[in-house]
Structure 1
Amino acid sequence: MNRINKGLTAFVALAFSSVAFSATPVLAAGKMTISTPQDPGSWDPIDTFLVQWAAVATNIFDGLTYRGPDLKLVPGLAESWEELDQGKRIRFKLRQNVKFHNGEPFNAEAVKFTFDRLLGEQGAKGPQRSNYTAIESVEIVDENTVDMKLKAPDPVLLTKLAGYGAMIVPPKYIQEKGEDNFNTNPVGTGAFKFVSYAPKVNIKLEANADYWGGAPKLSELDYRFISEPATAVAELQAGRVDLVIPPTIPIGMLPVIQGDSNLEIVSVPGPTVDALRFNTRDGITADPKVRKAIIMAVDRATIVKSILAGQGSEIASFQGALSFGYDPELKPLPYDPEGAKKLLAEAGVKAGATIQIDIRGNDATMNEVTQVIASYLQMVGITATIKPYETNVLLNDIIPQGKTGAMFQQKWGGWTFDYDNTAYSMYHSGEKWNPYEKDAALDKLLESQRPLTDRAERERILKEIGKATAEKALELPLYNSNAIYGVSKKVKGFVAPPDNRLKLTDVTVE
């Protein structure tokens, strides 16, 4: 199409309004302590999908593009881009005079190395590569220009370049120090530099005075890994923590924070959806009638109203209303315990049948929700036991290896706010988060929408995917929850991102 991204001047102006710029470094002062519920275990961008990684690493790394709390896409390490060869190639003009934290220059070589690594053997070991398979290669045009050749168009690619696996990494540092070292000693171009990492304890960062977007106003960030919600809230009340990030705070503890004159709750609609997915391979949940019966046995609207205190909304598919592909016409299966009993009888399931529900042990809200779900199931003759796991064990061993009980918790951020990001990972055969289901027709639908540039047609297919998964009852859809932050009133300039991707350049702590 030879279409240069139009309105580039306005676009760059928007970037300047989103990130504070400064001609000379400003001396930063002050420390901010953040409570995050999970240690990702590796700080390498290609090793993770976790929003808790992004809550930290958005301050360490930059992508070619950037998307802030307003969800608008602006230039990042690429100052501009243009589509060439009918969209088969994207040319990026790179920001000049940018350095990695170790002094290594950011340039076209670093961009090529990043994507060669992501799409190569190292990337194959992690969960991120499948998000970027539309990229065939990255070719260097000159020191400050790269061409990204595409196998097929990807309408979400520019957003994907703003996060996770596409974060630009330093070639020489990784080659000299090794992959294992990079996992625990990350180096990027971001507003804060890595200082130290104590697994399961904390990660400390310091201001990058030479940051291309302007020096941060804070001098230090200390992210503490506090998995127990009561402990995190107590630390916030005591002033030892300035910010508690989602999904730490259970609904039941909101009044504690709201009743403290030194604290406040900041709640924004987010991409996070919760469901209890089904083991469709083994046991009674291999029968779609049983799966639909379980869904009909649970009053999800009451759960949202009573347990979430309205801090969320019921869902019919595994996405929220902000997601591209959301279908407002798709309604959840109704709460109908008598209908559920009828389906169970048709499936030959006798009263007293047992199932196991696997959940994240540190998710207090889900623990309460599943207790209620177990009560609902008891009323239709199913006895549910709840098995909590340490989060990393559940996510890295139990689910991907297909070792779950009949139902298992899946919390998904869908940070691109595009249903493809969720649906492909959850439903396509062979994907890490789809240990049980293989459906050629669904695979075809998922694959068919990815190359489409026709937005309306792509949206139609995504809605069809939502309907297909609902018809197969692949999960018990629960809710799209708000992102709830507990914030000390000493914190100034904090804008709550809906996707947990904290960029704390402009924040101060009194």
Structure 2
Amino acid sequence: MPRRLGAQASARSEVVIGQSGDVSRLDPHMSGAANDIAVSFNLFDTLVSRHVDNKLYPSLATEWKLVNPTTWQFTLRPNVKFHDGDPLTAADVKFSIERTYDPKAKTYVASVFNTVERVEAPSALSVQFVTKKPDPLLPARLAYYGGQIIPRSYFERVGPDEFNAKPVGSGPVRFVSWVKDDRLVLEANPGYWGGKPDAERFVFRPIPETAGRLAALLRGEVDLITRLPPDHVDSVARHPTTRVEGALYAGLYVLVVDSRRPPLDDPRVKQALSLALDREAIVKELWRGQAIVANGPIAKGDNHYDESLPPLKHDPVLARQRLKEAGYKNEEIFLEVNEGYLANAKPMSEAAVAMWRDVGLNVKLEVVEFSVMMQKLRGGAIRARPSVIRTA
């Protein structure tokens, strides 16, 4: 599914980005939200990076190899410094990755490296990952969220709250200021190992409404916007000072279901939810064909996507049968959605609710503020209601 960006054609010393919502966390291990990782992947570096061609490239690690079936060895780039001037060493890598799965840290990314048994730092520029079993995907996961490297010394000195408020990384930009729900300001890192960014300052402004983001772009108030729905692509492309850039989003729009409580503790009810969805219609009508119907949990663009699998099935008759088999008694199901965070999230949710009601499911839609949703997810306080929709 392509993720569209609308950008001003002219270059500036200050680049202003209009996002669909404010960042919720700057600590890279405490969030996987799209608005957050758009920032954290520039504040922080990973050992390995994935480029738009979907291939893995060296980042903080210049090379890596499989020493034996359960040991990966990474050689670090020399002379890399954090934004506070401290050198980045294998000790920081070891600390960062171990923190992700430390139960005391309670990170958002705790399961990313669950195959890792231990991390060793035999020298300042060498790191070894010993896994519980062969893990050929470890380098790819180190390029994803959870793989961002943080400075051990600074973190231990200031603590997690101050680190989240004033983060220090080694990426191409460094933190300047954050006024919640107003703007986040970053500046170019002049000593970045990969070369200094073209612009001097980067300002992220939360503009939740699509119309507001689009108007700000066309008036020249922002240089780039995110979450541009397909029905606005033509107007941006035709404007004399803007253009549209697109790239394959190797991910999925999913429904995250709370299976701990009835009626969604019954697999047949969840099967009915899936069977009732006409995904082809959603792609055609809401995405103007700029998406594909998923055929499973692995997205197109992933190394292990299987083209031979058929798209997820749409069969409302079978959906009604599954509900009958489950003894569904018209229990209420609540679908929570954040408007503005995902492109087309509310229209897609409204369409899904209509399709579910057609097969006899009693579903109600609730629009939830993104900040409230993130607080609930972080705190494990998702109420006793079945569904939350978010990107996975």
Q: Deviations over 1:225-266 (max 9, x none)?
A: 222222111111111111112xx2233333432342222222
Equivalent pair of 1:47/1:126 in contact (CA under 8 Å): yes
In the aligned structure 1, how far is the partner of 2:280 from the partner of 2:148? 39
Provide structure 2 residue ranges, at least 5 long, that are not aligned to the other structure: 1-10
**How do residues 119-158 of structure 1 correspond to structure 2 at under 5 angstroms?**
119-121=101-103, 124-158=105-139
Match of 2:339 among 349, 361, 368: 361
Equivalent pair of 1:34/1:244 in contact (CA under 8 Å): yes
- Structure 1 residue 329: Cα displacement: 4.0
1:83 to 1:299, Cα distance in 2 relative to 1, 3 A: closer
In the aligned structure 2, how far is the partner of 1:88 from the partner of 1:183? 34
Matched AA of 2:69: G
In the aligned structure 1, how far is the partner of 2:362 from the partner of 2:164? 43
**How do residues 213-362 of structure 1 correspond to structure 2 at under 5 angstroms?**
213-245=194-226, 248-332=227-311, 334-349=313-328, 354-362=332-340
Q: CA RMSD in A?
A: 2.6
Partner of 1:408 in structure 2?
A: 388
In the aligned structure 1, how far is the partner of 2:74 from the partner of 2:63? 6
Equivalent pair of 2:52/2:247 in contact (CA under 8 Å): no
1:382 to 1:131, Cα distance in 2 relative to 1, 3 A: closer
**How do residues 387-398 of structure 1 correspond to structure 2 at under 5 angstroms?**
387-397=366-376
1:217 to 1:303, Cα distance in 2 relative to 1, 3 A: same
- How many residues are treated as equivalent by the alignment? 380
Equivalent pair of 2:101/2:107 in contact (CA under 8 Å): no
- Structure 1 residue 371: Cα displacement: 1.8
Q: Deviations over 1:130-182 (max 9, x none)?
A: 21133333333233233333333322211222232222212222222222111
- Structure 1 residue 87: Cα displacement: 3.3
Partner of 1:183 in structure 2?
A: 164
In the aligned structure 2, how far is the partner of 1:138 from the partner of 1:376? 48
Determine if the alignment matches structure 1 residue 52 to structure 2 residue 35: yes
3-state SS of paired residue (1:272)? coil
In the aligned structure 1, how far is the partner of 2:12 from the partner of 2:239? 27
Equivalent pair of 2:101/2:109 in contact (CA under 8 Å): no
- Structure 1 residue 71: Cα displacement: 2.0
Identity of matched residues, %: 31
Equivalent pair of 1:63/1:76 in contact (CA under 8 Å): yes
Determine if the alignment matches structure 1 residue 169 to structure 2 residue 169: no
1:307 to 1:343, Cα distance in 2 relative to 1, 3 A: same
Equivalent pair of 1:81/1:91 in contact (CA under 8 Å): yes
In the aligned structure 1, how far is the partner of 2:343 from the partner of 2:98? 40
Matched AA of 1:408: V
1:215 to 1:327, Cα distance in 2 relative to 1, 3 A: closer
1:281 to 1:237, Cα distance in 2 relative to 1, 3 A: same
Provide structure 1 residue ranges, at least 5 long, that are not aligned to the other structure: 1-27, 413-510
In the aligned structure 2, how far is the partner of 1:101 from the partner of 1:193? 6
Match of 2:91 among 90, 109, 130: 109
Partner of 1:78 in structure 2?
A: 61
**How do residues 434-473 of structure 1 correspond to structure 2 at under 5 angstroms?**
none
Equivalent pair of 1:34/1:222 in contact (CA under 8 Å): yes
Q: TM-score, normalised by structure 2?
A: 0.87
